[in-house]
Structure 1
Amino acid sequence: MAGGDLRSLTAVAAGVAAAMSYVRFAARRLRPGLPRLAAFVPVLAVLPVLPLAFRALHLRAVSGFFLAWLAEFKLLLLASGGQGPLDASLPLPAFVAVASLPVRQRRPAGSENAPRSGLGLVTSAVMAALLAAIVSLYRHGEKMNNYALLMLYSLHVYLSLELILAFTAAAARVVMGMDLEPQFDRPYLSASLREFWGRRWNLSVPALLRQCVSRPVRARVGGVGGVAAGVLAAFLVSGIMHEAIIYYATLRPPTGEATAFFALQGVCAVAEGWWAAHSGWPRPPRAVATTLTLAFILATGFWLIVPPITRTETDKVVIAETEAVVVFVRDAGSWAASSVRSFFTGRS
């Protein structure tokens, strides 16, 4: 990490802590509704600006996801008095962490509603090795088929997200005694779009979208149409928020392609649900359904999500930053191993 970004990280962390302390103070003294929302407006306006303090693409994109998306939605739920993850009665450090990161208070070990948080050490090591292998393959990118390269990009994104969130989970456990919210549940096993987006991929997002978007729209429209409207509204909002994340990555104006991608996913998910509601209609075997689901997501992603990244050559920046991290981890591991050997050699 560059020295400038280290200073920015310190400043952003301090700013977020101060902002969330103010939010907790206001929430404890104001009733839900317009009074709370009015008090939260300054924080809601500042949070999306903070990720722009970073020069590193990964820091901008990750902090954008945490602050401009998750934190904003959590604060809106708190302002409305909805059943969100935030509670003004939480101790201040826990409140700041839950508000600004995808973490929660640790549940009792025996609780049946306490899913595993983060990745195991072996799984993390395997994923890190796979990511390092993918990064090494980029050197031969000019010789690769475009679709093979796009597949590598897709795996790169998935593995990076898993590892970043695993690191966050480990830090939350050690520093705060908290757990990461469940994020991924083997998305490559999804047999439908509804299963992929609702129950397996980036789970903190659909949980917030259901509370902030789907349920209010569904209640307002009512009936069968309300269910479809809630799903479509959630996917549309997700598309808009992905436009913001792509902006943090590329620093280019939104193109609307991410919104189109998620709108298409929403329409197809609604159609899929309509088909599934007819019990007598044919259904493919699960293996076939999984293949079709993943193929559809990848094909539409290559069409609408990847171009804004590659068009601005942001993919090259992502690769360069990832290579730097891989080299750093490799050198740090070599230094640690050498230090351990020297220690035991000296003692013998």
Structure 2
Amino acid sequence: MVSKALKSAIHEPTRSLFTPILGRRLAIHPAILATFVVSGLMHEVMSFYVGRTWPTWEFTWFFIIHGLYVTIEVEIKKKASKCGWKLHPIISTPLTVGFLMSTAIWLAYAEPIHCLADVREIEEYVALVDYVNHRLRIAPS
């Protein structure tokens, strides 16, 4: 649902805007970047409301880096396919997952830790268990 909303609200209008300037083939790059930037900003807004702390812009940088990565990947795949070369999924999948995991640990997971979301989540689980115990009248162990 979010992907479709971003595609129709950001990607397609940006691509249409840049097509007369860059041509159809290259207009995809600013469209991809704009989509990732908006997604990063929306994650910052969600983090602001959930974590109740000012943005550190780590989510936005995470998405900007991934937007740049995707645009580079699109160009490399286009050029490689013209030469008849294709990277096998056994190689490309671990590379993609490794890149995603390393940047997520570096940028995306830092934000919830800064606002102590992990601590609050554990406290909420404890409160839920206490509530269930109380409703079921189970004596605490």
Name the CA shift for 1:323/1:288 in 2 (closer, same or farther; >3 Å). farther
Indicate which of 87, 91, 104 corresponds to 1:288: 91
CA separation of 1:296 and 1:251: change in aligned 2, threshold 3 A: same
2:103 counterpart residue number? 300
* 1:231 equivalent in structure 2: 32
Gap runs ≥5 in structure 1:
1-203, 336-348
Deviation readout 1:290-314 (Å, 9 max, x if unpaired): 2221111111011111112212322
| Cα distance change, pair 225–323 in 1 and its aligned pair in 2 (3 A) | farther
Question: Which residue identity does 1:244 align to in structure 2?
Answer: V
Q: Which residue does the alignment assign to 2:114?
A: 311
Indicate the residue corresponding to 1:271 in structure 2.
Answer: 72
Report whether the alignment pairs 1:211 with 2:8: yes
Residues 219, 308 of structure 1: alpha-carbon distance in 2 compared, 3 angstrom cutoff: same
Given that 1:309 and 1:315 are in contact with CA atoms closer than 8 Å, whether structure 2 keeps it comes out as yes
Structure-2 residue corresponding to 1:245: 46
Letter aligned with residue 246 of structure 1: S
Q: CA deviation at 1:324?
A: 4.0
What is residue 139 of structure 2 aligned with on the other side? Answer: none
| Post-superposition offset of 1:319 | 2.5
1:148-173: CA deviation from partner (whole Å, max 9, x where unpaired) = xxxxxxxxxxxxxxxxxxxxxxxxxx
Q: Deviations over 1:128-153 (max 9, x none)?
A: xxxxxxxxxxxxxxxxxxxxxxxxxx
Q: 5 Å matches for 1:31-110? A: none
Unaligned runs of 5+ in 2: 137-141
Query: For residue 63 of structure 2, what is the aligned residue in structure 1?
Result: 262
Give, as a single letter, the amino acid of the residue that structure 1 aligns with 2:119. K
CA distance in 1, matches of 2:71, 2:77: 10
Shift of 1:207: 0.7
Determine if contact 2:52/2:115 at 8 Å carries over to the other structure.
Answer: no
- Contact 1:242–1:259 (Cα < 8 Å) also in 2: yes
CA distance in 2, matches of 1:328, 1:276: 54
TM norm structure 2: 0.80
Residue 330 of structure 1, CA deviation? 7.2
Describe the shift of the 1:324–1:292 C-alpha distance in structure 2 as closer, same or farther (beyond 3 A): farther
Separation in 1, partners of 2:58, 2:73:
22
Contact 2:44–2:59, Cα closer than 8 Å, also in 1: yes
Please give the root-mean-square deviation of Cα atoms over the aligned residues, in Å: 2.2
Q: Is the 8 A contact 1:232 1:263 kept in 2?
A: yes
Q: Is the 1:275–1:281 Cα contact (8 Å) retained in structure 2?
A: no
Alpha-carbon shift at residue 218 of structure 1 (Å): 0.4
Q: Which has the higher contact order (CA 8 A, sep 6+)?
A: 2
Aligned-residue offset at 1:282: 4.2
CA gap 1:211/1:318 in 2 versus in 1, 3 angstroms = same
Q: Which amino acid aligns with 1:254?
A: P
**Number of residue pairs matched?**
129
Per the alignment, in what secondary structure is the counterpart of residue 284 of structure 1?
Answer: coil
Classify 1:314/1:218 alpha carbon distance in 2 versus 1 (closer, same or farther; 3 Å): same
